[in-house]
Amino acid sequence: MKHASTRAVFAHWDERRGDRPAPSRSDIDPVAIRHALGDTFMLAADFVDELRFRLAGTRVCALFCREIKGETFTALWSEDSRKQIDEILACINDESAGVVAGLTGRTADGSAVDLEFMLLPLARVGHARIRGLGVIAAAEIPYWVGEKPVTELELGTVRHVGPGIAAEMAPRLVPGQSISEIRHGFVVYKGGRTTPTNERTG
């Protein structure tokens, strides 16, 4: 997780769930994640069990140049990304796993912004309809945010997060790499930089 808001929300969600697969909506304390609230959103199921935005932070809404409360979550995504989004929402509804992903947000004139996306399940208690807690955050906010709306979101690499996760949804970046270990609910893969040695060459 690269963005401070993503890390803060995940840490709070992980702490509040305890030994459960997911915390409930009432377990989430907005004060504890107050610095991340502008980048957060919550999803709720309506009467036909379709997930819509129940709440969305100011910075999330600024990306789309409008208040997105009440809008259908899947409507924001590109056609190529919607199959994966359906799979992600199935995990959220089952309270089995969350996801972290890279996104590209595109405007009608082709401008683009790199975003980090996270969606975590919330446990259903009684008749509660809140199903997911999420983050959409930009590492660098372009000058045009708030003036030109993002009209489409496109998924990049997607990873599951949560207790007992042992698989990745998207193809691995390096073919043939195997899972090394699982740390704190994240999938950790072999690879990356090698450890420097003190030997000198040539």
Q: Does residue 81 form part of some domain?
A: yes
77 lies in some domain: yes
With respect to residue 167, please indicate whether it lies within any of the assigned structural domains.
Answer: no
Which of 11-25, 84-98, 169-183 is predicted least confidently? 169-183
pLDDT surpasses 60 at 112: yes
- Domain CATH for 120: 3.30.450.20
Six-digit token string for 96: 């089995």
- Is 186 inside a domain boundary? no
pTM above 0.85, yes or no: no
Mean pLDDT of the chain: 81
Host domain of residue 119: 4-161
In a domain, 12, yes or no: yes
List Cβ<8 Å contacts ≥24 apart for 44-53. Answer: 44/129, 44/130, 44/131, 45/93, 45/129, 45/131, 46/129, 50/74, 51/89, 51/92, 51/131, 51/132
Contacts of 142 (CB under 8 A, 6+ apart): 111, 113
Triad 59, 64, 68: Cα angle to 5°:
85
| Percent composition of the chain: helix, strand, coil (DSSP 3-state, to 5) | 25, 35, 40
Residue 189 pLDDT class (50, 70, 90 cuts): very low
Amino acid found at 8? A
Region 44-63 average pLDDT: 87
Give the pLDDT of residue 1. 84
Is residue 69 scored above 60 in pLDDT? yes
Domain count, the chain: 1
Structure tokens at 70: 């009440």
- How large is the average pLDDT for residues 20-41? 94
Q: Which of 24-38, 122-136, 142-156, 177-191 has the lowest mean pLDDT?
A: 177-191
pLDDT band at 41 (very low <50, low <70, confident <90, very high): very high
Per-residue pLDDT, 168 = 40
Distance between CA 165 and CA 174 in Å, rounded? 20
What's the confidence (pLDDT) of residue 61? 97
Q: Is residue 30 a part of any domain in this protein?
A: yes
In a domain, 191, yes or no: no
The predicted model gives 66-80 an average pLDDT of: 94
Mean pLDDT, residues 36-48 taken together: 87
**Residue 176, in any domain of the structure:** no
